[in-house]
Amino acid sequence: MVSIFGIIRIKRFLQIDACLDKGGKWDYNLNKCEEYYKINSTNYTDFIWQTDYDSLRNREVLSKGKLLDSIGQSPQELIDLLNRRKPECKLELVSIDQDTIAVHIINDEFLSERMGTTGAYCYLGETVFTLTENKSLKYVRIEMDYGSHAGPGVYDRTSFVDLIINE
């Protein structure tokens, strides 16, 4: 009887050890490994909100990355993920004040003048939805120059209701 109990404990120890060796975190309540995923240039979209064209609805719609809940979601980590997107404009953290994060758009001319109205709207929608995945943040203050297709301001998820699928 003692040997069976010992085998069970050793097996669990080895499972926990293997989980930690892979960079994961052991969840003692669920008795399973929470794996941390390596993020690369091909799978980063699994960790952010992204817009895609929905041909049935004939418009762009936002969808949540399937692995977004598996990361820590610190503001800087989310900004780093968003900066992997192809557009030439990038985000820079300015400050966090209570429930509002302020970000500066680097190369804002590309966003406001060269991406078009829909491209700029989708870029900002992805940015706001991804950054507000951090539960302590509700608003995103965008700092940039005014342009033809986008401008500075304080945005939240309700600013992009056109990108949400309403069944």
Do residues 77 and 115 lie in contact, with contact meaning Cβ atoms separated by under 8 Å?
A: no
**What is the pLDDT at residue 60?**
95
Residues 12 and 87 in one domain: no
Q: Express each pLDDT in 98-126 by its tens digit.
A: 999 999 999 999 999 999 999 999 999 99
Residues 145 and 66 in one domain: yes
Structure-model confidence comparison of residues 89 and 1, the more confident one: 89
The predicted model gives 124-142 an average pLDDT of 97
Residues 15 and 63 in one domain: no
Residues 20 and 101 in one domain: no
**What is the pLDDT at residue 44?**
87
**What is the pLDDT at residue 112?**
93
How confident is the prediction for the chain on average, in pLDDT? 88
* 89 in any annotated domain: yes
* 62 in any annotated domain: yes
Residues 126 and 62 in one domain: yes
* 39 in any annotated domain: no
Residues 87 and 145 in one domain: yes
pTM (two decimals): 0.77
Residues 74 and 7 in one domain: no
Provide the token pair at 59: 């418009």
Question: 90: number of CA atoms within 13 Å, CB side?
Answer: 9
Boundaries of domain holding 94: 44-163
* 146 in any annotated domain: yes
Which segments of 59-137 are extended strands (E)?
59-64, 90-97, 100-106
* 138 in any annotated domain: yes
Residues 129 and 49 in one domain: yes
Q: Express each pLDDT in 1-39 by its tens digit.
A: 667 777 778 888 888 877 776 556 788 887 877 766 667
**What is the pLDDT at residue 28?**
84
Residues 108 and 64 in one domain: yes
Q: What share of the chain is helix, strand, coil (3-state, %, to 5)?
A: 40, 25, 35
Residues 19 and 89 in one domain: no
Residues 24 and 66 in one domain: no
Provide the token pair at 145: 């120059």
The predicted model gives 152-165 an average pLDDT of 95
Do residues 97 and 135 lie in contact, with contact meaning Cβ atoms separated by under 8 Å?
A: no
Number of domains in the chain: 2
**What is the pLDDT at residue 35?**
65
Residues 57 and 9 in one domain: no
